[in-house]
């Protein structure tokens, strides 16, 4: 068996070279999936935080509007004016 045959054999479908390439590809794919899931999870958390902040802000604004309406009504019905 010549050197050329050994080189060709070392890159055949059942070779360690192919096995290593496949394993590296699987590792990179898994790593990419983990990163993608982490990014998606962080995005969901940020969205939930933002929504929570918006709900609090909306509740405070609504409180303020209700209080202003009560003040306006009491001023309208105030007999001293």
In this predicted model, which residue has the larger pLDDT, 76 or 20? 20
Mean pLDDT over the full length of the chain: 88
Average pLDDT over residues 53-80: 88
Q: What local confidence, expressed as pLDDT, does residue 32 receive? A: 98
Q: What local confidence, expressed as pLDDT, does residue 25 receive? A: 97
> Phi/psi of residue 33, each to 5°?
-65, -40
Q: How does DSSP classify residue 1?
A: -
Whether 1 has a pLDDT exceeding 70, the answer reads no
Q: Could you tell me which residues come within 8 angstroms of residue 9 by beta carbon, excluding any fewer than 6 positions away?
A: 15
Q: What local confidence, expressed as pLDDT, does residue 74 receive? A: 84
Distance, in Å, from the CA atom of 56 to the CA atom of 48, rounded to the nearest integer, reads 12
- Alpha-carbon distance values, 14 to 8, 17, 23, 29, 38 (Å): 11, 8, 13, 21, 35
Q: What local confidence, expressed as pLDDT, does residue 52 receive? A: 97
């Amino acid at each position: 068996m010549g050197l050329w045959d050994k080189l060709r054999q070392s890159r055949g479908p059942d070779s360690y070279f192919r096995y290593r390439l496949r394993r590296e590809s699987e590792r990179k794919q898994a790593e990419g999936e983990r990163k993608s899931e982490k990014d998606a999870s962080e995005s969901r958390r940020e969205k939930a935080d933002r929504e929570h902040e918006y709900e609090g802000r909306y509740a405070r604004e609504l409180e303020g509007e209700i209080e202003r309406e009560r003040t306006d009504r009491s001023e309208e019905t105030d007999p001293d004016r």
